[in-house]
Chain A
Amino acid sequence: MGGGEKPELMINGKRLDGRMPDQLRSIKIESGVIKNAVGSAYIEWGNNKIIAAVYGPKEALPKHVQDPERAIIKCRYTMAPFSSLEEHGRSGPNRRSTEISKVTKEVFENVIMLEKFPGSEIDIFVEVLQGDGGTRAAGITAAAVAVAASGIPMTDIPYAVSFGKVGDTVILDLNKIEDNYSDADMPVAISPRTGDILLLQMDGTLSKDDVKAGMDMVYRAAEVITKVQRDALKAPYEKISERYTK
């Protein structure tokens, strides 16, 4: 929560950037942007610009971290020093990025079929180039595409989006200024096939009804986000196929 004077976030039922309360920012994903990685994706979610890359499965090192029953996931979320208006200084891990790395890892532990690669590790990197609120959600959405593009078997492609509350209105997909000055925000990651909740964090206060209304919006957003993710995965192959089908 930001300090100081609180700006007016809703004007005539519309948000500062002209969106309706339940409207997402525009989302664009490109798969296969990093050739060295096994799978990668670049996402532009509003003003967020994030690259995700996946390496592995490979032999887990050091050896004592190996799990003989399943693969382990290592996840590293970082914000570039130039990524936002706030001071991010050196881009090394800090309290916030360590937390987001952990929750991102836990999202993927629930969808990747880890038991297929005992003793190995899968590395997921999320690098925020430009941040404008909701980077953890956008990072998970991009990393999901990167994991799927790597061919690692997974039960579903998860997506994430946040919702929050401004005054009496529940709003979907908060940007930076809404994130700082809203009454609450709640990032959620969902497995769209089953509707399972893979991530749920909250900052601020929400009533039971607010959460219900917000979760409804989150589930409705699946239609848009999942389609963008799937199209991004199919695009590189369809581009090659198109060369020969006239």
Chain B
Amino acid sequence: MQRIVVPGERLHDKPIRIDNTITDNNGTYSCILGYFDDQSKSLIPLEGLWLPKSGDTVVGIVEEDRGTTFTINLNAPYRGLIIARFIETDIRARDVIIASIKELEKDGTAILVRPKRLEGGKMISVKPSKIPRIIGKANTMVKQITDNTGTSLIIGLNGIIWLKGGNVDLATKAILQIEEEAHTSGLTDRIREMLEANKV
């Protein structure tokens, strides 16, 4: 059975190891507002911000050109940093880029590599906790959106999505609906119906 749990709520009467929980001798308790599955013992956050991890793909805006480095706004408490001599692309302040995180510095700054400029298009920001649902199991959800709208999507794990071409408005509508209804079941089918009904 799946249920919504809040911080401090008991998930299990024995201490077991689950992400985003704390344990004591009497049980395991949630630390977040999340969706808990009793069978698979998984706790999925409903809210919450993204924290950089190495290997994550992100979409961000170049904030400042410092000559040897670029700082990137990642919509998170920590900034991204690109070291200019390691890249071949020509980037400038206010460019929108996609890049992946190579490593994290001690103060939380994310060192980004392989930046690519994104030109034209539209950017929307969603709750980072809903990104896995927008991507879907084995990309099913995102594939469904691109197939039905012809829009190409670039999804940053930091919650910024870049859209270009095709029916951008319909794609945006679908993404915002997924964000709102991420915790419900049967969402893939509902989104498909919605996309097919609005397709021109």
Residues of A within 8 A of B (CB): 38-39, 56-59, 68, 111, 113, 116-120, 148-157, 191-194, 229-230, 233-234, 237-238, 240-241, 243-244
Asked whether B7 lies within 8 Å of A156 as measured between CB atoms, the reply is: yes
Q: Is B114 an interface residue (CB 8 A)?
A: no
Asked whether A119 lies within 8 Å of B108 as measured between CB atoms, the reply is: yes
Asked whether B6 lies within 8 Å of A151 as measured between CB atoms, the reply is: no
Q: Is B20 an interface residue (CB 8 A)?
A: yes
21 contacts between A and B (CB under 8 A): A38-B47, A56-B77, A68-B107, A117-B77, A118-B108, A119-B107, A148-B33, A151-B45, A151-B129, A153-B7, A153-B20, A153-B48, A154-B7, A154-B8, A155-B7, A156-B8, A192-B8, A237-B46, A244-B181, A244-B184, A244-B190
Counting contact residues on chain B (CB < 8 A from A), the size range is 20 to 34
Q: Which 8 residue pairs are nearest across A and B when measured between Cβ atoms? A: A151-B48, A151-B47, A156-B8, A120-B77, A153-B31, A193-B8, A57-B77, A154-B7
Which residues of chain A are within 8 angstroms of B108 by Cβ–Cβ distance?
118-120
Q: Which of A157, A240, A241 contacts B8 (CB 8 A)?
A: A157
Asked whether B107 lies within 8 Å of A116 as measured between CB atoms, the reply is: no
Shortest distance in angstroms between A194's beta carbon and chain B's nearest beta carbon?
Answer: 8
Which residues of chain B are within 8 angstroms of A155 by Cβ–Cβ distance?
7-8, 22, 29, 31
CA distance A65 to B52 in the complex (A): 22
Q: Which of A153, A194, A243 contacts B32 (CB 8 A)?
A: A153
Q: Is B9 an interface residue (CB 8 A)?
A: yes
Shortest distance in angstroms between A229's beta carbon and chain B's nearest beta carbon?
Answer: 8
CA distance A113 to B48 in the complex (A): 13
Asked whether B181 lies within 8 Å of A240 as measured between CB atoms, the reply is: yes
CA distance A220 to B120 in the complex (A): 60
A-B contact count (CB 8 A): 91
Shortest distance in angstroms between A118's beta carbon and chain B's nearest beta carbon?
Answer: 6
Shortest distance in angstroms between B18's beta carbon and chain A's nearest beta carbon?
Answer: 13
Which residues of chain A are within 8 angstroms of B77 by Cβ–Cβ distance?
56-59, 117, 119-120
Besides the known contacts A118-B107, A154-B7, A191-B8, 10 further A-B residue pairs in the complex with CB atoms under 8 A apart: A119-B77, A119-B78, A120-B108, A156-B29, A237-B46, A238-B4, A241-B183, A244-B184, A244-B186, A244-B190
Residues of B within 8 A of A (CB): 4, 6-9, 20, 22, 24, 29, 31-33, 45-49, 51, 77-79, 106-108, 129, 180-181, 183-186, 190
What DSSP secondary structure best describes chain B's contact surface? loop
Asked whether B33 lies within 8 Å of A233 as measured between CB atoms, the reply is: yes
Which residues of chain A are within 8 angstroms of B107 by Cβ–Cβ distance?
68, 118-119
Which residues of chain A are within 8 angstroms of B4 by Cβ–Cβ distance?
233-234, 237-238
Asked whether B51 lies within 8 Å of A116 as measured between CB atoms, the reply is: yes
Asked whether A240 lies within 8 Å of B183 as measured between CB atoms, the reply is: yes
Q: Which of B29, B47, B129, B190 contacts A149 (CB 8 A)?
A: B47
* Closest A residue to B77 using CB positions: A120
Which residues of chain A are within 8 angstroms of B129 by Cβ–Cβ distance?
151
CA distance A68 to B108 in the complex (A): 9
Asked whether A148 lies within 8 Å of B7 as measured between CB atoms, the reply is: yes
Shortest distance in angstroms between A68's beta carbon and chain B's nearest beta carbon?
Answer: 7
Asked whether B49 lies within 8 Å of A151 as measured between CB atoms, the reply is: yes
Asked whether B6 lies within 8 Å of A241 as measured between CB atoms, the reply is: no
CA distance A233 to B49 in the complex (A): 17
Which residues of chain B are within 8 angstroms of A237 by Cβ–Cβ distance?
4, 46, 183
Shortest distance in angstroms between A132's beta carbon and chain B's nearest beta carbon?
Answer: 27
